[in-house]
A and B are shown apart, each in its own frame.
Chain A
């Protein structure tokens, strides 16, 4: 079991660029989550999914989009990157939330 994998590990974007953060889990979990972590702020939920084809907004969804076409994959899309989206992004799966290693994103 690889658990939860995230790619890429690091990325630098220019303002206005777009990108997709990938998240894959091999534990057959229905629940999957995307968080961002900023220093001193804890984790904020961006989007979550309760199963394939079903997604819902979390606390800070603006500027992001998600899709869930399969149980395994839950990509996070940034359409027009802004400096405020500089953060570390974590994907998690399952009711107990098994976390991936994170993606460190910088928007310049």
Chain B
């Protein structure tokens, strides 16, 4: 079975401090990994993705993530957060097996940036 775990439901952090949002996954096949951001009352917006190649992936708004296959993790990081980063962040896994696509989202992490 495929699953995604975002252990932290809420992460408070002071402005200009670094942040790491954790994502672990489980799958029996190869996966593609994504991080999305959702601002209140809006749809999700793609932050970054890992499809193949370099395990360090850079995305929009200064975010980056590192794919660690041995630890089955894809943690999201930003060295210095801004107030505008306050939002909910979702990790997602997509796999293709036997012509069937499986998409699994984590339950989300609410990032609250404190001035």
Of the candidates A40, A41, A99, which one forms a contact with B44 in the assembled complex, judged by CB atoms under 8 Å apart? A99
The digit string for A41-55, where 1 denotes a CB below 8 A from any CB of B, is 111110010100000
Residues of A within 8 Å of B, CB-based: how many? Answer: 24
Q: Which residues of A contact B108 (CB under 8 A)?
A: 40, 42
Stretch of A13-21, A68-76, A77-85, A90-98 on the interface side? A90-98
Contact A96 B34 (CB under 8 A): yes
| In the bound complex, CA of A58 to CA of B104 (Å) | 10
A105 to chain B, nearest CB (A): 14
Contact A42 B100 (CB under 8 A): no
Of the candidates B34, B43, B105, which one forms a contact with A100 in the assembled complex, judged by CB atoms under 8 Å apart? B43
The digit string for B89-104, where 1 denotes a CB below 8 A from any CB of A, is 0101000000011011
CB closest chain-A residue, reference B106: A42
